[in-house]
Amino acid sequence: MDDERQRLQLIDAGGVGDLRLAVVSPFLWGPLPDLLKRFAEAAPEVDVTVTSPAPLQVLEDVRTRKADLGVVSVTAASELKERWGHELQIVKAGSFPLIAALPSALSSGNAPIDLRELDGATWFMVRSTLGVDSLPEIITGAWRDYHLRPGRVRTVESVPTAMPLIAAGLGLSLVPEPVRTMPGGGVMLRELRQELPHLESAVIYSRKSEFTAVMKLFLEMALDETREVI
């Protein structure tokens, strides 16, 4: 009876159960490893699975309950709420600045780079699928504001698929700062002289699903630093 009572207390506290996460790459490379470590220490009996699909698939997995919690990156989490808030609960969980990802052969030094030096280059652009502003809109806004004319624009599915193309010297892009933690070489990452909008991370979950104690515990840890709920 004591063992069963203790187990029930663990379940109530979110210490037992399953947690399915669908997370886009910036959050996957940035906060998630440390967050999972702290979560595992607090709830060692919770079985956590992580997938990293495309942003629109993250929303679909949460809507169809294939994932308990999702994380996407947008320019403003408030816009995501306006677009999807009727189906999803949306909570802001930090933000990331953008940096330039350049072929090593075309970049020297570590000083911040002026965007105007990238005029006429071939750019890689991820697909815009969420119906709200995200990385593609930040890049096109920078082109407009600093009068840049790309020599060519090549579409890629995600930032990770752009990185080997950049390493091969086929173009460049702006990417979230957590890219620095990705393994691999051939890409020079440099900060920008200009101030551009940051990408915000938004944790999402379905309004139709049960909000379990496990989900609550993970979300509280994800918001530990920002404490921003929209």
Q: What pLDDT, on the 0 to 100 scale, is given for residue 16?
A: 67
Q: What pLDDT, on the 0 to 100 scale, is given for residue 102?
A: 94
Q: What pLDDT, on the 0 to 100 scale, is given for residue 5?
A: 55
Q: What pLDDT, on the 0 to 100 scale, is given for residue 143?
A: 96
Asked if residues 129 and 56 have their Cβ atoms less than 8 Å apart, the reply is yes
Tokens (6 digits) for 74? 């947008």
**Sequence-distant (≥ 6) Cβ neighbours of residue 113 within 8 angstroms:** 100, 102, 107, 190, 191, 192, 193
Residues in the chain: 230
Q: What pLDDT, on the 0 to 100 scale, is given for residue 14?
A: 46
Largest CA distance in the chain: 72
Q: What parts of the chain have a pLDDT lower than 70?
A: 1-16, 107-108, 183-184, 224-230
Q: What pLDDT, on the 0 to 100 scale, is given for residue 165?
A: 95
Residue with tokens 């998630």: 32
